[in-house]
């Protein structure tokens, strides 16, 4: 019980309230500013796995409570895009995440998020295949395709697609992992003065997962584009 409370406290530290506002004045951005704003959103809202690539197995299922904090590289633009809202230094994205094991070393995952103090709602999912499922002597190696889609913001249609490869190796209850990939961003404004931005961002990530049986805890560092993100997940496996 004490361990579980400690893990929840760590998640709480990530999930501090953010003074933000609704995205409602995209038209106040110049086109180069809109591109930078979209790059920040791509870093913050693209898919974060926060799990090793080893497959869950056919009967495996995990429910996770997850929080990601992304350091915004162009924080002043948030104020212009939100009708004078506070500059946003870090975007906090809480998520409800589920994973399900499938036959043949496949796994699927999905999440839903509503970013506090904003009109940002986000959902997405992944399909992962373990090329190597891992074992005592061998690491696990997986390839993942994922997508995310923004909702709730009438002035912006925004989505990401990503592809990555990752590797992990378990040591008793601890499993470190790392990976790299690419993120493709589509950012379409509903503002007469702006046009769509489509671009690719490089992605690297590394993390570690502690497995306590029915409960697991993961921490992950991610750098998508130029912005770093830090994630924590408390998972429950059934």
Angle made by CA atoms 31, 34, 40, in degrees to the nearest 5: 150
Angle made by CA atoms 130, 122, 82, in degrees to the nearest 5: 140
Residue 13 has pLDDT above 90, yes or no: no
CB 180 within 8 A of CB 192: no
In this structure, what token pair is assigned to residue 135? 């074992």
Residue 167 has pLDDT above 50, yes or no: yes
pLDDT in tens, 201-232: 999 999 999 999 899 999 999 999 999 999 99
Is the model more confident about 144 or about 8? Answer: 144
Confidence (pLDDT) at 173: 94
Domain of 107: which CATH number?
A: 2.40.160.20
Residues across the chain: 238
| Helix ranges (DSSP H) in 118-176 | none
Residues 6+ apart with CB under 8 A from 48: 66, 68, 205, 220, 222, 229, 231
In the chain, what percentage of residues exceed pLDDT 70?
Answer: 92
Angle made by CA atoms 1, 4, 53, in degrees to the nearest 5: 140
Confidence (pLDDT) at 87: 83
* pLDDT, mean of residues 87-111: 96
* pLDDT, mean of residues 22-42: 96
Q: What is the pTM of this model?
A: 0.89
CB 52 within 8 A of CB 209: yes
Range of the domain at 159: 2-237
Question: How many distinct structural domains can be found in the chain?
Answer: 1
17: left (phi over 0), alpha (psi -120 to 50) or beta: beta
């Amino acid at each position: 019980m004490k361990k579980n409370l400690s893990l929840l406290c760590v998640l709480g530290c990530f999930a501090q309230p953010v003074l933000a506002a609704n995205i409602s004045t995209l038209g106040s951005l110049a086109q180069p500013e809109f591109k930078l704003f979209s790059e920040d959103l791509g870093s913050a809202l693209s898919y974060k796995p926060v799990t090793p690539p080893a497959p869950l197995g056919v009967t495996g299922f995990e429910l996770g409570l997850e929080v990601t904090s992304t350091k915004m590289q162009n924080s002043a633009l948030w104020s212009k895009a939100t009708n004078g809202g506070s500059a946003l230094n870090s975007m906090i994205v809480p998520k409800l995440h589920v994973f399900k094991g499938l036959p043949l070393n496949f796994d699927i995952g999905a999440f839903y998020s509503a970013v506090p103090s904003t009109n940002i709602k986000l959902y997405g999912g992944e399909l992962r295949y373990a090329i190597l499922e891992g074992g005592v002597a061998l690491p696990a190696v997986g390839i993942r395709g994922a997508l995310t889609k923004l909702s709730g913001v009438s002035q912006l249609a925004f989505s990401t697609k990503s592809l990555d490869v990752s590797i992990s190796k378990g040591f008793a209850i601890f499993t470190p992992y790392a990976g790299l990939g690419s993120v493709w961003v589509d950012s379409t404004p509903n503002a007469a003065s702006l046009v769509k931005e489509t671009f690719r961002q490089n992605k690297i990530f590394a993390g570690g997962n502690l497995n306590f049986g029915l409960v697991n805890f993961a921490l992950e560092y991610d750098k998508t584009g130029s912005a770093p993100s830090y994630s924590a997940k408390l998972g429950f496996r059934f």
